[in-house]
């Protein structure tokens, strides 16, 4: 029977592989720090994250980047966003779907 740490490690690697394949941004929390970015390299020992950001306080708003190389065995917590919908966005989608269905029924009659 596999130990708990092996199952957690396998799950972590699986989630990172999904984020890497989808180009999703991830946030990784270590004991004393936190990093975020899109996984650009991943193997069984390390993940490399690319973080792009714009310094809003700078008038020229130059895009900057940071690369983080993180040892997977040191990770305490990991998260990546899943598409979230506001109430307004969902209602707009439902209303547009209802409008399309109504117009198709009108044309059929």
CATH assignment of the domain containing 26: 2.30.30.100
Flag whether 95 is in a domain.
no
State the residue range of the domain holding 31.
Answer: 4-84
Q: How many structural domains does the chain have? A: 1
Cα of 20 vs its chain's centroid, Å: 9
Q: Which residues of 24-54 are buried (b: 16+ CB within 10 A; e: fewer)?
A: bbbebeeeeeebbbbbeebeeeebbbeeeee
Q: pLDDT for 59-106, tens place per residue?
A: 666 677 888 888 888 776 666 666 666 778 778 878 876 655 555 555
Average confidence (pLDDT) over 49-60 = 75
Its pTM stands at: 0.58
């Amino acid at each position: 029977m596999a130990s708990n740490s092996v199952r957690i490690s396998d799950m972590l690697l699986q989630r990172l592989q999904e984020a890497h394949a989808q180009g999703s941004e991830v946030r990784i929390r270590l004991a004393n720090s936190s990093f975020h970015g899109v996984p650009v390299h991943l193997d069984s020992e390390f993940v490399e994250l690319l973080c792009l950001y714009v310094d809003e306080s700078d008038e020229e708003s130059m895009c900057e980047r940071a690369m983080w190389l993180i040892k997977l065995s040191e990770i305490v917590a990991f998260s990546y966003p899943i598409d979230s919908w506001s109430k307004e966005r969902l209602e707009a989608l439902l209303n547009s779907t209802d409008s399309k269905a109504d117009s198709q029924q009108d044309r059929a009659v």
